[in-house]
Structure 1
Amino acid sequence: MKTELNFSDAAAIATELLVAFAVDHSTSKDKDAKPELALLTTESALTTAAQDVLTSGEFKGSANETLLLHSPSGLQAKRLLVVGLGKSSKVTVNDLRKAAGVAVRFSKPRAIRELAIVIPNSELLPLGPGGRSVVEGALLADFDPDTYRSDRKDQSIDSLSVIAPQKADKAALETAFAEGVILGESQNFTRSLVNEPGNVLTPTVLGERAAEMAKEVGLKCEVYSTEKLHELKMGAFWAVSQGSVQPPALIVLTYEPEGAPSEPVLGLIGKGITFDTGGISIKPSEGMEKMKYDMGGAGAMIGAMRAIALLKPKVKVISVCCSAENMPSGSAYKPGDVVTAMSGKTIEVMNTDAEGRMVLADGLHYAQQLGVTHLIDAATLTGACVVALGMINAGVFSNNEEAYSHFVEAAKISGDRFWRLPEEDDYRDQIKSQIADIMNTGGSRWGGATTAAMFLKEFVGETPWIHLDIAGVAWLEEQKPWMAKGPSGTPVRTLVEWVRSYSS
């Protein structure tokens, strides 16, 4: 999709589709009350073109509701699409991001290949974040997962023009717009990785794609395999890897901008299981095909590093992604095995399907050996987190309030949704082992997301650390009005904003 920022009179734009946003200013709680609709624009021509239908009651202005007008009077556009944002008292930048996505998803099946979206000009939504969120939402909505369909019809949008007020602060808006393009494209890069089938995206190929991206944007990339795991004594990572004919990949991406302080050094650690059968503790066959997305944490870290390299915050960042296949075979690790992690801690394997925490254990420790002072990991780690939070919020755990406060502010900007869960020491009792230091599961179904986090906590020490369990949000089970079914790319934007919050 070709994108441009245009400081013009929207009424004079000749385009296949012009998009504007409407809010409901009414304060009545009566669901049958007539809405008080208004377009978020100061251009009278747009308001006049839509006035009759806005006052007719036909269109309610509900969030993501659409209204299409053909040959709108007084406008050069062939069509005017009005997208609702809901009640003005509750509207957020994230609502706008979704609404922009709705406009693109509306256009694609209707053979509309060019559109112009008017940034809301209102006190309700600041112009800079508004412009950024519009282009983010549009880019994310343009992604479709039907890569391998032989009858695939390319419905991609050819060009998007984002229309800003002529009197806007051009420099500030251009910066915000450019950020939105980078973030949207980087999140889509993650989605393209997560969407690949396991027979295509092996650990080796994931390493190759990370290296290709790094070369394009100026990151340092090192990709290691079996020999390096043995050299570093990564017994936990290797245990998961040993059951597959596909060798593991230890992917290290480094961003070190000129002028960055020596501290902090931020570590982005990703679980990269390119296919997860569960190993000897094999999963049920139903739904196993989705286990190609078990590298969603690593995919998010790689996409975030792409955005970081392009946005250039003044802070050093190292990403460590631990990629493997978890397969059952004669050489696979088994329940009851005891392995030694890179840190020297011994682990009794209770369930080979608890493999993500095994590879992360060595990844977290290795990142600290590389000089990382603050850690954040992301993993499609537990079904227990999905049971607790569903597919709306990801779980977040942290051992450090300052690092967590940075994360909360980052999530406010990104629009991603998280819910903090406990990592209290009392839960550690559930992972105590009789014959080793710890077990790799909590021994029961209770508190599974937290016992997994407690396992990871064993490998971070006092280092400020945040753990994201994204099992419920990395893959959309159903299509949304603003995004296709399939990989979501969560939490790329939040990771980037967390990093930027530490920039000098």
Structure 2
Amino acid sequence: MEIQVIAGDVTSQTVDAVLVSVFESAVNLEGPTEVLDRALDGAISDLMRDGEIKGARGEISLIHTLGKIAPKRVIVVGLGSQQTFNIDTLRYVGGESARFLKKLRVGECLSAIQGPLDGRFTVGQESQAVVEGVLLGLYKFTEHKSDKPSEDAKIRGFGFIHPDQSKVAEIEHGVSTGRVMAGAARMARDMVNQPANWMTPTKMAEISDQLARDHGVDLTIFDKQECEEMGMGAYLGVAKGSEEEPKFIVLSYKGDPGNPANNVGIIGKGITFDSGGISLKPAPGMAAMKGDMAGGAAAIASMKAIAQLKPAINVTVIVAATENLPSGTATKPGDVLYAMNGKTIEVDNTDAEGRVTLADAVLYAKNIGLQRLVDIATLTGAIRTSLGNVRMGLFANNQSWADEVLRAGDDTGERMWQLPMDDDYKELNRSNVADIKNTGGPSAGSITAAHFIGEFAESTPWVHLDIAAVSMFDKEKGIYVNGATGIPVRSLVRLVMNLANNQ
């Protein structure tokens, strides 16, 4: 979709629709909304007085201009309360508005949506948020559909209009950044939405290879034999049941090559299909386990945006990709595996496999000198019980590092909630036959899973994000559609950009 930025009079633009915004219970209209209201003889303010336009968050009202001005339609979008407004509201209304425009079969549209005129946000931040909302709200996965959507149903052109020519460059920068952020999240959605017979460990490696070629980042892919030589018995213990070859993927971006210690590691769980292994999952709902590599997809996709935005920091993405399947060669409950640092793991339940693969991934990250780590995983069903599908769970061994990740989540609207990591919970992971057990029983399941990974992170600043409840949605709302969400790609990118900007 073409996205343009122009300066001019909003009433004189020959387009199918213009988007403007109002706050809930607004007394006076401002900016482009006020200009259009005057040109339409008070149509917007009249509808507000009548209560037809309330300005509630996400409310959309259509006004046909009937030749009074050049745009055929004015679409008024509600932003909710001005007091509680945040930048994520613009993402939300961007997604809702884009789907509304698509249903109207609007071909060309200009946005004059703006936040509060109090300096809280720049026009660049606002345009970035709207672009992210539009591009993510219009996302649809159709690769395996015989009947593709008609071109007539697509928005051909979307743009921004501002009365001040001096603001155009800043808006254009916001548009460019929004495209990059949304493009990376859409990439992750594409990967997670693929069926498991298409998105294999080998395919994840091939996607990483293409990304590396396109964006000039380094790539290393370790095969099974090389992982054996490095002593990755935990990771390979999970891979034993599948005929699909495991692929240990390492992408490296060197944004500060003269300062190797200025680095961060992003580690994604890469189980391309999780049957539960010998501890087999119930058949109902098992098809959704194609998405158990959502953390790995987010990690890989974040590298695409990072390579495009070029922050002055070194970033390494690590994904230990494999399937978790039952077979005559699969790891069994009660087996003991050796991680690459020699720590032994009793496999109490083969369906608690993600944390086992992450053990070797975290150890590898430490071995190559990564100073700060964040792992992303669809790790536990327990996190849905704790937080529902509203926030991902955050666990950490270092509060200042946790605060950095939480800030990135706030910046992007990908909400997180920090859960406790009291040492008392570690007792639940004790094993009678090994150094540690891979499950802690039915109590505090998300916390004990995080503690398991933390045993391998040790003193390295580390954050774990459990995205099991937010990686897939089943309805349209704001920037999200039915299927994969792409969470937390934008948070990962924002985290890296914040770190680079704060140096």
TM bracket, shorter-chain basis: over 0.9
Normalised TM-score (structure 2): 0.94
Q: Is structure 2 residue 184 aligned with structure 1 residue 193?
A: no
Distance apart, 1:230 and its partner CA: 0.8
Normalised TM-score (structure 1): 0.94
Secondary structure at 2:457 match in 1: coil
Output the CA distance in 1 between the equivalents of 2:48 and 2:240: 63
Distance apart, 1:47 and its partner CA: 5.5
Partners of 2:345 and 2:436 within 8 A in 1: yes
Equivalent residue runs for 1:253-332 within 5 Å? 253-258=251-256, 261-332=259-330
% identical aligned pairs: 37
Q: Which residue of 1 aligns with 2:35?
A: 44
| Distance change >3 Å, CA 82–CA 372, structure 1 → 2 | same
Q: Which residue of 1 aligns with 2:449?
A: 452
Q: State how many pairs are aligned.
A: 494
Output the CA distance in 2 between the equivalents of 1:470 and 1:176: 28
| Distance change >3 Å, CA 38–CA 286, structure 1 → 2 | farther
Which amino acid in the other structure matches residue 454 of structure 1?
Answer: H
Q: Is structure 2 residue 58 aligned with structure 1 residue 64?
A: yes
Q: Which residue of 1 aligns with 2:224?
A: 226
Secondary structure at 1:324 match in 2: strand
Distance apart, 1:502 and its partner CA: 1.6
Output the CA distance in 2 between the equivalents of 1:84 and 1:107: 15
Q: Which residue of 2 aligns with 1:95?
A: 89
Q: Which residue of 2 aligns with 1:118?
A: 112
Partners of 2:105 and 2:154 within 8 A in 1: no
Output the CA distance in 1 between the equivalents of 2:321 and 2:30: 48
Which amino acid in the other structure matches residue 95 of structure 1?
Answer: T
Q: Which residue of 2 aligns with 1:107?
A: 101
Partners of 1:266 and 1:317 within 8 A in 2: yes
Output the CA distance in 1 between the equivalents of 2:233 and 2:108: 53
Output the CA distance in 2 between the equivalents of 1:46 and 1:495: 41
Output the CA distance in 1 between the equivalents of 2:114 and 2:86: 12
Secondary structure at 1:41 match in 2: helix
Output the CA distance in 1 between the equivalents of 2:31 and 2:444: 46
Output the CA distance in 1 between the equivalents of 2:29 and 2:70: 21
Q: Is structure 2 residue 9 aligned with structure 1 residue 3?
A: no
| Distance change >3 Å, CA 63–CA 336, structure 1 → 2 | same
Q: Which residue of 1 aligns with 2:49?
A: 55
Q: Which residue of 2 aligns with 1:368?
A: 366
Equivalent residue runs for 1:13-24 within 5 Å? 13-24=13-24
Partners of 2:256 and 2:313 within 8 A in 1: no
Q: Is structure 2 residue 136 aligned with structure 1 residue 140?
A: yes
Equivalent residue runs for 1:473-492 within 5 Å? 473-492=470-489
Which amino acid in the other structure matches residue 69 of structure 2?
Answer: L
Output the CA distance in 2 between the equivalents of 1:10 and 1:402: 46
Q: 2:464 aligns with which of 467, 475, 478?
A: 467
Q: Which residue of 1 aligns with 2:164?
A: 166
Which amino acid in the other structure matches residue 461 of structure 1?
Answer: E
Output the CA distance in 1 between the equivalents of 2:218 and 2:328: 37
Partners of 2:202 and 2:247 within 8 A in 1: yes
1:166-188 C-alpha deviation (Å, 9 max, x unpaired): 24434433322211111011111
| Distance change >3 Å, CA 297–CA 14, structure 1 → 2 | same
| Distance change >3 Å, CA 239–CA 139, structure 1 → 2 | same
| Distance change >3 Å, CA 292–CA 381, structure 1 → 2 | same
Which amino acid in the other structure matches residue 106 of structure 1?
Answer: F
Distance apart, 1:259 and its partner CA: 5.6
Distance apart, 1:491 and its partner CA: 0.5
Q: 1:128 aligns with which of 124, 138, 144?
A: 124
| Distance change >3 Å, CA 237–CA 77, structure 1 → 2 | same
Q: Which residue of 2 aligns with 1:335?
A: 333
Output the CA distance in 1 between the equivalents of 2:176 and 2:475: 30
Which amino acid in the other structure matches residue 116 of structure 1?
Answer: L
Distance apart, 1:270 and its partner CA: 0.3
Q: Which residue of 1 aligns with 2:498?
A: 501
Output the CA distance in 2 between the equivalents of 1:143 and 1:230: 40
Partners of 2:244 and 2:323 within 8 A in 1: yes
1:177-216 C-alpha deviation (Å, 9 max, x unpaired): 2111110111111111111110111110011011112211
| Distance change >3 Å, CA 44–CA 177, structure 1 → 2 | same
Q: Which residue of 2 aligns with 1:378?
A: 376
Secondary structure at 1:86 match in 2: coil
Output the CA distance in 2 between the equivalents of 1:96 and 1:357: 36
| Distance change >3 Å, CA 110–CA 483, structure 1 → 2 | farther
Which amino acid in the other structure matches residue 21 of structure 1?
Answer: S
Secondary structure at 1:459 match in 2: helix
Q: Which residue of 1 aligns with 2:429?
A: 431
Output the CA distance in 2 between the equivalents of 1:331 and 1:99: 51
Partners of 1:313 and 1:500 within 8 A in 2: yes
Secondary structure at 1:237 match in 2: helix
Which amino acid in the other structure matches residue 98 of structure 1?
Answer: Y
Partners of 1:21 and 1:40 within 8 A in 2: no
| Distance change >3 Å, CA 225–CA 71, structure 1 → 2 | same
RMSD across aligned C-alpha pairs, in angstroms? Answer: 1.8
Distance apart, 1:321 and its partner CA: 0.7
Q: 2:145 aligns with which of 142, 149, 159?
A: 149
Unmatched segments (≥5 aa) in structure 2: none
Between 132-141 and 213-222, report the one with greater CA deviation.
213-222
Distance apart, 1:236 and its partner CA: 0.8
Partners of 1:241 and 1:325 within 8 A in 2: yes
1:36-69 C-alpha deviation (Å, 9 max, x unpaired): 4746636513564323323221122111111111
Partners of 2:265 and 2:317 within 8 A in 1: yes
1:59-92 C-alpha deviation (Å, 9 max, x unpaired): 2211111111123564321111111111111111
Distance apart, 1:360 and its partner CA: 0.6
Q: Which residue of 1 aligns with 2:75?
A: 81
Output the CA distance in 2 between the equivalents of 1:284 and 1:376: 31
Output the CA distance in 2 between the equivalents of 1:103 and 1:145: 19
Which amino acid in the other structure matches residue 41 of structure 1?
Answer: P
Between 383-392 and 137-146, report the one with greater CA deviation.
137-146
Q: Which residue of 2 aligns with 1:396?
A: 394
Distance apart, 1:481 and its partner CA: 4.7
Output the CA distance in 2 between the equivalents of 1:398 and 1:264: 20
Partners of 1:25 and 1:38 within 8 A in 2: no
Output the CA distance in 2 between the equivalents of 1:391 and 1:141: 18
